[in-house]
Structure 1
Amino acid sequence: MNDALLEIHNFLPCRTPQQWIDNALANQDLMLIDHAHCEKKAASTALSLMYRYVDNTDLLNKMSRLAREELRHFEQVLAIMEKRGVRYAHLTPARYAAGLRKEVRAEDPGRLVDVLIVGAIIEARSCERFAALAPHLDEKLSEFYNGLLKSEARHYRDYLDLAEQAAGEPVEHRIDSFLELERQLIESPDTEFRFHSGPVWPCEVGIGGS
């Protein structure tokens, strides 16, 4: 295990449940569709931060790089889907990101700190799930997911560094609060499979309009 992944495992409150991995392997087309949506949303989040906090040079630089990388990942997922005959489609959103963001404070600087912490957690969970899935996937998809680990781990660290910078002090108490919420979202049963869903019992496919 590389140092970045070990740090991710130490940061997150729990590992992905085996049932979710089983769900993903049984619904790989759906997994890819939602993965593409996740990459696009990640780029959108980075751009929205750039528009809102125009006087934060460090944030602007890191989010600009992150947005470019996430859009490149989006393009790569679309290319993989095209080769596999998987059609990109609208999906109903997972409860995961909305569940985390409901605890974000309304006013700055607390709002920015919390949004950045949520971003760090989402990137860390993505990294953990890529690593958990890779050994079970075909060679090409496994290689792609393993290749994403480095950038996702860096995005997680960038978000955390920016959160501490925005707060002007350690933010462990806020991180711990969001991590406990994340653990509940990851471990509790979900109604439909998504890349960041909890385990689905039984395994279900959930494609629908959003």
Structure 2
Amino acid sequence: MSWEESTKNKMLNLQLPTDPRWVDIASMNLGDILVDHAYCEQKAASSCISLILKYPDLELLVDTLTPVVAEEWAHFERVMDQLRKRNIPFGWPRKDEYVVRLAQFVKKGGNRMQQLTEQLLMNALIEARSCERFKLLWKNLQDEELKKFYYELMVSEAGHYVNFLELARHYQDEAKVEARWKEWLAQEAKIISELEMRDDRVH
């Protein structure tokens, strides 16, 4: 089954597509993009570990996110391999203004499941936007090795996106999740519209 078929009616729901100029800028600064990407994968693994440690009593969450941790860390290792092949130094992490802005939209307070829903929906959005950006890189890069690389990661990120949404719907009333998801999607589009288009960031 193709990526498009396997995620039909689930992807991506993003309200504002990435400016098509981004991939042209990004393709000229692949070193910076790869370094930022490595840190994104590292943070994604850490985020899943944090959820597992915070909600160890939620069996489905633990069982779902444990393999995601392994996949995200494997992605980090694969990006590091790409950096080494190209003699690109890893360097220091960069502030991810996109994630900072998303985190500011997280509702404070509420019960434990409401807090979990906020984190799951934020993670789902990050995965969705990453998936969309990886699709642009896959379709537009000239480097055949990186094209294949980003296609594989696009497929994986799509699966993680679905994981987070399905967990949110499992642990919280689905109608409430859908209503809040619409608010998250609208806020994410607003953030994307306001952020400066960077040639050294995945997001």
TM-score w.r.t. the length of structure 1 is 0.87
1:54 equivalenced with 2:56 (yes/no): yes
Q: Give RMSD over aligned pairs.
A: 1.7
- Secondary structure of 1:152's counterpart equals helix
Between the aligned partners of 2:8 and 2:151, the Cα distance in structure 1 is 14
- Cross-structure match for 1:3: 5
After the TM superposition, list the runs of 4 or more consecutive aligned residues in structure 1 that deviate by more than 3 angstroms: 4-10
**Structure-to-structure mapping, 1:90-101, within 5 angstroms:** 90-101=92-103
- For residue 140 of structure 1, the aligned residue among 120, 141, 145 is 145
Cα contact 2:12–2:128 (8 A) shared by 1: no
- For residue 161 of structure 1, the aligned residue among 161, 166, 191 is 166
- For residue 37 of structure 2, the aligned residue among 32, 35, 38 is 35
- Cross-structure match for 2:134: 130
Query: 1:118-171: per-residue Cα shift (whole Å, max 9, x none)?
Result: 111111111111111112221000000001122111100110011112213331
Q: Which moved more, 1:102-111 or 1:183-192?
A: 183-192
The one-letter amino acid of 2:184's match is F
Shift of residue 10, structure 1, vs aligned partner: 4.8
Shift of residue 13, structure 1, vs aligned partner: 0.9
Could you list the runs of 5+ residues in structure 1 that have no partner in the other structure?
197-210
- Cross-structure match for 2:193: 187
- For residue 105 of structure 2, the aligned residue among 103, 118, 130 is 103
Shift of residue 7, structure 1, vs aligned partner: 4.4
**Structure-to-structure mapping, 1:6-21, within 5 angstroms:** 7=9, 10-21=12-23
Q: Which moved more, 1:37-46 or 1:144-153?
A: 144-153
1:175 equivalenced with 2:181 (yes/no): yes
- Cross-structure match for 2:46: 44
Could you list the runs of 5+ residues in structure 2 that have no partner in the other structure?
none
TM-score w.r.t. the length of structure 2 is 0.90
CA 1:50–1:179: 2 relative to 1, 3 Å: same
Cα contact 2:56–2:62 (8 A) shared by 1: yes
Between the aligned partners of 2:151 and 2:196, the Cα distance in structure 1 is 26
Between the aligned partners of 1:24 and 1:6, the Cα distance in structure 2 is 28
CA 1:191–1:21: 2 relative to 1, 3 Å: closer
Between the aligned partners of 1:10 and 1:73, the Cα distance in structure 2 is 21
